[in-house]
Structure 1
Amino acid sequence: MPRRYYQLARMVFSSYQNVRAQGSYMTAGAMAGSEADGKVTIVFDREQLSVPRREGETLLESARRAGMTPPFSCEAGNCGTCMAKILEGTATMRVNDALDDDEVADGYVLTCQAVPDCASVTVSYDED
Structure 2
Amino acid sequence: MSDEPTPLRNGPVATAAAGAVPDEITIKLDGRTTAAPYSAGDTILQTARMAGLQAPSSCEIGSCATCMARITHGSARMLNNDALEPDEVDEGWVLTCQALPTSCTVRVEYE
TM-score (structure 1 length as normaliser): 0.68
Gaps of 5+ in 1: 1-35
Distance 1:56 1:119 in 2: 14
> 1:71-97, CA deviations, whole angstroms, 9 ceiling, x for partnerless residues?
100000000000000011000000000
Percent same amino acid at aligned positions?
47
Of 88, 93, 105, the residue aligned with 1:103 is 88
Which is bigger in relative contact order (C-alpha 8 A, separation at least 6)?
2
Does the CA-based 8 Å contact 1:76-1:112 persist in structure 2?
Answer: yes
Letter in 2 for 1:73: S
Q: 2:76: which partner in 1? A: 91
1:1-128 correspondence to structure 2 within 5 Å: 37-126=22-111
> 1:25-80, CA deviations, whole angstroms, 9 ceiling, x for partnerless residues?
xxxxxxxxxxx652101100000101222101100001111111011000000000
TM-score (structure 2 length as normaliser): 0.78
- Which structure would you say has the larger Rg? 1
TM-aligned CA distance change 1:102 to 1:49, over 3 Å:
same
CA RMSD of aligned residues (A): 1.0
Gaps of 5+ in 2: 1-20
Bigger fraction of residues in strand: 2
* Secondary structure in 2 matching 1:50: strand
* Secondary structure in 1 matching 2:62: coil
